[in-house]
Structure 1
Amino acid sequence: MLFTKLSALAALQLLSLPTANAQTNNNASAPGSTTTTTVPSYTCNPGYPVSPAEQSIIFTNFLRKFYLEKDVYRVGREHILLDAINHNPNVNGDRDASLAWVAPLIAEWNVTITNTGLADNVGWSHVKVEGPGMGRYTVAVDIWRFEGSCIAEHWDALQVAPPANRTNPLELI
């Protein structure tokens, strides 16, 4: 998998787009017309296969709702399987246990998405997290495995930023 800054910038631009919501548009401009257009909501539908393009939209919407809108419970209901596996050592249980653990934390965090990628049913994000208990800041890499339109598994790795007077002047982000 090769991800460039250009693909990260494109993903960040997508994050600013409106959500793809389920909408039904009746053609009101044509009198007597019964034509209806439905736009898919791109939410978790177990067993429903999706194209890579659809999965990309799903992942982008997930990241926006989770990190930027911080609507953790909604994003869980819409995108994560109930029996999803979470490898975070602080959580023991299913989707609801994971959401209950992260919701109060993420509400206090300022999250900056720096890189994202999606290939072969695996999405990842590289984010800077600032807030209580995060030191100067903490860098997180989250990895999500998809089954079609649903997130089925999650891993994460965290690194607290070293002090400002460290030997290596490069920042983690």
Structure 2
Amino acid sequence: MKMRVPTLAVAVAAIASFSDHLAMAHPTTPQPSTCSTNHPTPPWIQQKIFEDFLQKFYIKKDAKAAIQQTMAEEYIQHNPYALSGRQNAIDYIGPISEVANFTILRHSFSNGTGWVHTKMEIPGQPLTAVMDIFRFKGTCIVEHWDVATALPADAVNPLALF
């Protein structure tokens, strides 16, 4: 079976990019980042990276490692209370992730974009629904949007937010 050179080049670049991601998922020395925006990456690999990010960030509560391994240095942030950049994301979310408990309600990934709907619980605060949207380039998250709404005390809808 013949494979055209451009197709082969894309396949080799994708495999190299994914193997870099896997190799750095368990580094022997700390790495500043383990993702790359330099190579086209198949959607199924991006989806796997996104699911690993969700597991590490929301379930294992290791936001710093999840961000360092998956977010590009020049990551763009659209939250009005946080600045763009990977280190700014770590500085902003670090204190929140230490006290917040997240329950992933649903998530999906398509066309280089992943989203996750979570229930955020912080002691002394009302339950909050959060929708995070992440755009990928290569094996990196390069852009983030979020929307959060607290459950009102006088909500009449038993299905509100969740």
User: Aligned partners of 1:62 and 1:143: how far apart in 2?
Assistant: 13
Structure 1 residue 171 displacement after superposition:
3.0
Q: Which structure: greater helix fraction? A: 2
The alignment status of 1:172 with 2:161, answered yes or no, reads yes
User: Aligned partners of 2:38 and 2:82: how far apart in 1?
Assistant: 26
Q: In structure 2, do the counterparts of structure 1 residues 47 and 133 end up closer, same or farther at CA, with 3 Å as the change threshold?
A: farther
The alignment status of 1:116 with 2:107, answered yes or no, reads yes
Aligned residues: 133
Structure 1 residue 92 displacement after superposition:
2.2
1:102 counterpart residue number: 93
Structure 1 residue 107 displacement after superposition:
1.2
User: Aligned partners of 1:97 and 1:141: how far apart in 2?
Assistant: 20
TM-score by length of 2: 0.76
- Code of the aligned partner of 1:169: P
Q: Any gaps of 5 or more consecutive residues in structure 1?
A: 1-19, 24-42
1:58-91 CA distance string (max 9 Å, x none): 0000011111112122111210000100001111
- Code of the aligned partner of 2:59: L
RMSD: 1.8
Q: Is the 8 A contact 2:67 2:90 kept in 1?
A: yes
Structure 1 residue 162 displacement after superposition:
1.6
1:123-173 CA distance string (max 9 Å, x none): 0000000013631x000000000001110000000000121x433232311
User: Aligned partners of 1:94 and 1:55: how far apart in 2?
Assistant: 20
1:87-123 CA distance string (max 9 Å, x none): 0111124110121011111111111001101111110
